[in-house]
Amino acid sequence: MDALDGLEGVKVYGPGQVEWRRGVFSVNVAGLAPGRLAQRLEEEHGILTRSGLHCAPLAHRCIGTLPEGACRLSFGAFTTAQEVQAAAGALEIIAKSVKCLA
């Protein structure tokens, strides 16, 4: 959360307080469809995610991500701090590249 806080073009959905979160969160990059974001994370950075409505269209209505949804990242007990930083760095790189194209 700290690594993404204030990152231009990256929108993280859900509570801002870490104690209210779990290891799953949804994110979008301005100007990039969630499916394309997931594709770029995998192809350019080797990071696997899920994109779309995640079988929860009503949740996406609540957070304002209809009709495309969001890109969902999941962190588990064996995820290292280095892997979390790599994901944050990848999102930053992609967001900056989209901004440059705009």
User: What per-residue confidence (pLDDT) applies to 21?
Assistant: 82
Tell me the pLDDT tens digit for each residue of 23-72: 888 999 999 999 999 999 999 999 999 999 998 999 999 999 999 999 99
- Domain count for the chain, please give it: 1
Residue 73 tokens read as 């990242």
Q: Which residue range is the domain that position 60 belongs to?
A: 10-101
pTM of the model: 0.90
Cβ–Cβ < 8 Å for 28, 11: yes
Q: Answer yes or no: is 83 within a domain.
A: yes
CATH code of 30's domain: 3.90.1150.10
